[in-house]
Structure formats: structure tokens, C-alpha cells
Amino acid sequence: MRLTPSQIERFRAQGFLVLPELFSRQEIAVLRDALPALYAEDTPANIREKRSGEVRTAMGLHLRHPVYRRLVRHPRLIEPAFQLLGDRVYVQQVKINTKAAFEGEVWQWHYDFATHHAEDGVPAPLALNLHIFLDDVSEFNGPLWFIPGSHERGPVPAALDIETTSYPLWCVGRDTVADLVAAGGIVSATGAAGTALIFGDCLVHASPPNLSPWDRRIFSLIVNPIANAYTKTGRPDYKHHRDLTPIAPLADDCLATAPCVAAQ
Amino acid sequence: MRLTPSQIERFRAQGFLVLPELFSRQEIAVLRDALPALYAEDTPANIREKRSGEVRTAMGLHLRHPVYRRLVRHPRLIEPAFQLLGDRVYVQQVKINTKAAFEGEVWQWHYDFATHHAEDGVPAPLALNLHIFLDDVSEFNGPLWFIPGSHERGPVPAALDIETTSYPLWCVGRDTVADLVAAGGIVSATGAAGTALIFGDCLVHASPPNLSPWDRRIFSLIVNPIANAYTKTGRPDYKHHRDLTPIAPLADDCLATAPCVAAQ
């Protein structure tokens, strides 16, 4: 798995890439099968919706399940990251963002570096967010909305929002969003389960609530160059892992041969 | 303006029709120009958002402005209504539903007859809701979502929701919505300003909030057969008008020749 020169060029210009069905239905089934047990765990790494108590975000998964331990070294995620960042990167954060049917809340307009810089002391906006859709994602179940090109303005002003939703988030103000959208528009990142996204640390994005009867679960791996590591450790380690071991990719069939799969 | 037989057949089967750009940009400009003055009025017929105080719904417009007095008799709305309901119908409700940029709230899954029956004592689900988009409506600024065919199940169970939003609404429960969507899916009613919608009193619909920088204003005229009129008058008249005079359509250019337009 290598990005083509035109994909790299598009990533640099727009700030994101959509890779339709990068993972097979069978691989997605392996990832989904692990979820009920993970969601049932009583751990602070399972962050729950304010109103319903359902798991909104399950974090630190590579330390909690053998399938996810493999997924964070999957070459279809890591080889593209090496192309964009060089080959000395570490696992910064590993999670699934769930938007449960009828329940999933809005995420306000934000970009990840605002949090990475303010909370973790990450020096530069280099980290990549690598997503895999675990469900079909449509306009109806809370897709990510990207503002193409918004990363080019560098880190725009942001302020901490602790009121709107269950998860404190550094958000971008309305005037700034209006300016960015006037220039770049909005793109909804939709696709079948197995579709992957790559987006950078300054790309401004949001997502609407899930009013539909369809769950929307997305796996997210954030990788960051070791030379650009955290300088603060105020947040729990499942929000920014401390282990700076360089990621070494596994074989392309690593999910099919994962221990808990082989054992079935 | 007459619906074709295939449009009528589609309306009967799906429960709604989308009529792209039924009104011209110039006609939409006439309708929009009237809004700042109407929204500035301090009247209970302007219903405001719980959080922001912005006008969410402006009602009774045909009694408040000469352009809207004409619009409720516009042949491009009324002739199709005559085809579907016969020619003895009255003006039940006239409003603009605004979803302001960044502010507009969710509308939960509902159908209009639940309210018309419970609140106004309307006997049968015959009323039609005729919409005109006053702004371009996309997936990003809070379009209506229809469940095609949901009207065929007749009035499904509904319960009054006075908590979620600023406007009390008889809502359909999650299990029912899941059943209906499994059968019919969801369709997002989008289009350029000037696009019209026609949908029936039992069609289940919802709409997401408006997180975008784009306002979303939709004009809505509800017409009902005089033989099926209200039997209760508990709600204010701007929610269900008492005047049972049959609607008589005007000429097709009635907006271009409206008094306040001619005076400019």
C-alpha cells in the first residue's frame, strides 16, 4: 500500500484523503467483533455520552485487545503515514468514536492540533489522523465534515468548549469557520464500511449528530513523529500515549492471522 | 402548473414530491426581501430558539405582509393541491421555518397529522404541506429528511415532546422509526432556492441541526379540505387559522405584480 503522487498532492492541497474500502468486509468484521467486550468494560478509557450513558469514545484500544494491537501496525495505515511523515512515528492515540443510532451527539468545528498543542505540548502540527469506517457512513448517521484547504491557514484561533458535549474540545469560532468555508466549502466524508480517511492536524472539521437508526463507529489512530513528541503529560495516557517506540508495520494479512481470530 | 400523472403516482407511493426550482430567483428575492421586517416584529407568532433567541418559526405571514398574502394563493402551489385534494381547501397554517447558520436546532422524527389531530381536532390526515426553499438547501444546513412510504402505515404512534427543542412536537418513537426506515430508507430533500416540496400529513420526517455558515429558510403553507376542518381551537390562530374561505388562485405572475414590489 503506497499513496500515489497524485494522492499525496491532493492531501497536501486539501488536507485530507478518502480511501474507499481500504479494508475488506472480513477485516471489518474482525474489528467489530471485538467491540461488545471492549464497550462493556468499566474504565475511564470508555468515555460515555452525557445524556444516555452510551460509549461515545473507547480509547487506548491497542493496549486492551490483540486485534487492535495489530491494527495500529497495519501497513495499509502505517506505510502511507511513513510516506507523509517519515518512518519514525509513534502511536499517539487509538480510539473508536461511536455515534450510536438516535443518540450520537454533535462535534463542533475544531482541529486536532489545538488540543495536541494546548493539552500535550506537541510542538508542531504534524500528526496524522487515520480513520477506518466500521459501519457504512452516510449523510444520515453523523459523517465527518471537512473544510478543504483549511489546514493551509495554519493553526487558526480556537477556544476550549466544555459545555456543548461530553468531551472538552478546543473549538474554532463562527467567524473563522465562515471565512474558511467561503474559501473551501464543506465536504462530507462518507463511504462504505472499510473506507479509510487520512487527515492532518490543522484540518478544520465537525460532525452532525446521528438522528438515524444506523450506528456509526469509526476507528481512529493518531500517529506523530517521535521528533515532535508531547512535552506535557497532564492528560491521561489513553489520550496521548507515552511510549515513543517507532511503529514497525506488520504484514498485510495481519488481521486475518490475529491470535483471537485464529483461535475461533 | 399541473402535476403529471407520474408525479401524482409518485406522490401517492412515496408520500412526497420534490419540484426543483419551481419559483424563480427573482420571485425568491421578493419573498426574502420581506423577511427582515417580519422577523423584527415583537409578536407571539415569531417563535424563537431556546438558546439564541433567534426566530426559528415566523407564522401567520399571509396576515402580516402583502407578498405572503399573494403567495398563499399562488397557482404553482394551489393548482397541485387542487389536483390532490379537490378545489375546496382553506389556509391552515403559513410560516417560515428558519434554521439560522450555526444555530438552527434539530427537529425530531414526526408527522404533521399527529399535531393536527391532537391539538386541532382535524378528523383525517388529508392536509398537504407545501414548501418553498428560500435558500439553497444542502446536506449541510438542515434539510428535511423523509422516510419514503412511511405515510402508508397511516398515523403511527406518537408522543408529545416538550423537552428537546423550543417547539412542542408530537414525535415518533425510535422503534417505529427504525421499522419505517428499514422498509423505506431516508431521503434528504435538497435543492436550490426556489425548489418546492409537497408532502402529506402522515409522512414521517425529521431534520438535523444547521452547523454550517449558511442560513436555511423554508416557506411552508399547509392547506386542508374545508370538509376536514379543525374541530378544536385551543391553539393560537396563527397555528391553525379559523377562516374557512376556499382558496382562489391568483395569476402565475402574482408575485411580480405584488403591491409592495410594484411600489419599489
- Residues of A at the B interface, defined by Cβ within 8 angstroms: 101-102, 106, 108-109, 139-140, 145, 174, 177-178, 181-182, 186, 188, 206, 208-209, 211-213
For B151, list phi and psi in degrees, rounded to 5: -70, -25
Cα B159 versus chain centre, distance: 21
| CA atoms of A218 and A132, how far apart (whole Å) | 6
Q: Which of A173, A203, A143 lies closest to B140, judged by CA? A: A143
Which chain A residue's Cα is nearest to B210? A208
CA distances from B132 to B49, B137, B199 (A): 22, 10, 12
| CA atoms of B62 and B71, how far apart (whole Å) | 8
Cβ-defined contact of A145 to B140 (cutoff 8 Å): yes
pLDDT for B82 equals 98
pLDDT for A185 equals 98
Q: Cα Rg for chain A, rounded, in angstroms?
A: 17
Cβ-defined contact of A213 to B177 (cutoff 8 Å): yes
DSSP string, A139-162: TTS--EEE-TTGGGG-S---EEE-
| CA atoms of B46 and B60, how far apart (whole Å) | 9
- Give the model's confidence band at A11: pLDDT under 50 very low, under 70 low, under 90 confident, else very high: very high
Which chain B residue's Cα is nearest to A164? B51
| pLDDT mean over B208-227 | 97
Residue B263 has pLDDT above 70, yes or no: no
Predicted confidence (pLDDT) per residue in B15-74, tens digit: 999 999 999 999 999 999 999 999 999 999 999 877 778 888 999 999 999 999 999 999
Nearest by CB to residue A208, choosing from B108, B206, B211, is: B211
Cβ-defined contact of A181 to B212 (cutoff 8 Å): yes
Q: Are A216 and A224 in contact (CB under 8 A)?
A: no
Q: pLDDT higher for B212 or A159?
A: B212
Predicted confidence (pLDDT) per residue in B132-153, tens digit: 999 999 999 999 999 999 999 9
Q: Is the dihedral of CA B51, B57, B63, B69 positive or negative?
A: positive
| pLDDT mean over B201-208 | 97
Sheet with A187-189, strands from edge to edge, namely A159-161, A169-171, A107-110, A205-207, A144-146, A187-189
Distance of residue A57 Cα from the nearest chain B Cα, in angstroms: 21
Q: What is the pTM of this model?
A: 0.92
Give chain A positions within 8 Å (CB) of B101. Answer: 174, 178
Q: Are B240 and B92 in contact (CB under 8 A)?
A: yes
| CA atoms of A123 and A231, how far apart (whole Å) | 8
Distance of residue A102 Cα from the nearest chain B Cα, in angstroms: 7
Sheet with B216-225, strands from edge to edge, namely B16-19, B196-200, B128-133, B216-225, B89-99, B55-59, B46-48
What's chain B's average pLDDT? 94
| CA atoms of A161 and A110, how far apart (whole Å) | 10
| CA atoms of A181 and B151, how far apart (whole Å) | 37
Distance of residue B178 Cα from the nearest chain A Cα, in angstroms: 5
Q: Which of A188, A190, A174, A198 lies closest to A109, judged by CA? A: A174
pLDDT for B166 equals 62
Distance of residue B124 Cα from the nearest chain A Cα, in angstroms: 28
* Host H or E run for residue A128: strand A128-133
Nearest by CB to residue B208, choosing from A101, A186, A209, is: A209
| pLDDT mean over B148-174 | 85
DSSP string, B176-231: HHHHHHHHH--EEE-B-TT-EEEEETT--EEE----SSS-EEEEEEEEEEGGG--S
- Residues of B at the A interface, defined by Cβ within 8 angstroms: 101-102, 106, 108-109, 139-140, 145, 174, 177-178, 181-182, 186, 188, 206, 208-209, 211-213
Cα A106 versus chain centre, distance: 16
Cβ-defined contact of B206 to A211 (cutoff 8 Å): yes
Helix (H, G, I), strand (E, B) or coil at B29: helix
pLDDT for A166 equals 62
| CA atoms of A206 and A109, how far apart (whole Å) | 4
pLDDT for B164 equals 66
What's chain A's average pLDDT? 94
Predicted confidence (pLDDT) per residue in A95-135, tens digit: 999 988 998 888 999 999 999 999 999 999 999 999 999 99
| CA atoms of B116 and B121, how far apart (whole Å) | 6
Give chain B positions within 8 Å (CB) of A140. Answer: 145, 186, 188
CA angle B70, B76, B81 (to 5 degrees): 100
Nearest by CB to residue A102, choosing from B174, B182, B186, is: B174
Contact pairs from chain A to chain B, CB under 8 Å? 49
| Whether the complex's predicted ipTM surpasses the cut of 0.85 | yes
Q: For chain B, list the strands marked E by DSSP.
A: 16-19, 46-48, 55-59, 89-99, 107-110, 128-133, 144-146, 159-161, 169-171, 187-189, 196-200, 205-207, 216-225
Which chain B residue's Cα is nearest to A211? B208
